[in-house]
Structure 1
Amino acid sequence: MVSEMNLKKAPPAKAPKGEPAPDMTGVVNQSFDNKVQRSAIAEAQRLNKETQTEIKKLRTEMGLVSRDLKGSQDRIRELEDQNQLLQTQLEAGKNFDSLSAEPLPGALASQGKPAPAGNVPPRPVSGQQAADRPQLHR
């Protein structure tokens, strides 16, 4: 029985009988609506201006990054071209002395064995080079 009493709903509370609820009709008038609209428009314009400013900054920054990227890509291409040229020169000059463009002693020996150092023939000398050489007295 006690549990039945808990299940019963209490009657709804009645509003106190005093003053009636105020009539809000006409409080929100055209003037209020216009003020709200002007405020909303001003806020939207402010946000639009901030957004445009940020977009301009981002575009400027993207331009700088793009320019730097292009410069880096150009530099990479130059270095790749130089590397290819050096690789070609290295392959072409593997058996040559880089200063005189003559074969290194023993570089042309057969079967990968260097030729004996005493068997290297002397370099041919032009007339001017021979005149510039100091004479050895024996």
Structure 2
Amino acid sequence: MKIHVSWEQYETDEQEVLLFQLADSLQKARVIVNKKSFVYEVIKREQMASTIIASNLAIPHIRSIDVLQPRIEVVKLSAPLKDWEGHQGINRLVFALVPLKMSANDQRECMQFFVNLGKCEVLNLFSRGSQKDLKDYLRGRGDSNNGSNGC
């Protein structure tokens, strides 16, 4: 499963603008088929229940026929979004893009990624860590099982 980091690549404080910019990048990378469908599905998912897991971090995720390959897209914005489904201050997002069919290996990697994200030190890294620290963590794929789960 590919994990990609976009560090201050998107220059907007508007949710829909960010989603269309990201969708454009994902479509060019052949991760998704349809930009409008991607934006609609992310917004629809957020309306079901918030995916905010820290004061500045959300984990939007979709499972869709329009997703061609599994991918985790880590986005760090230079300025917080004015509104992420009713919340202000979100400047980091971890998008999980899941196709309808995924290999057993990709399923395990995705599950392990989110299990690790539930650990305090990993959550803090994704919500406050530097680009270098985040990339170093991702290079090792976060296989560390030490540390507590409570923050």
TM-score (norm 2): 0.15
Specify which structure has the bigger relative contact order, considering alpha-carbon pairs within 8 angstroms and separated by 6 or more residues: 2
Q: Identify the structure with the greater helix proportion.
A: 1
Q: Of the two, which has the highest radius of gyration?
A: 1
Structure having the higher strand fraction is 2
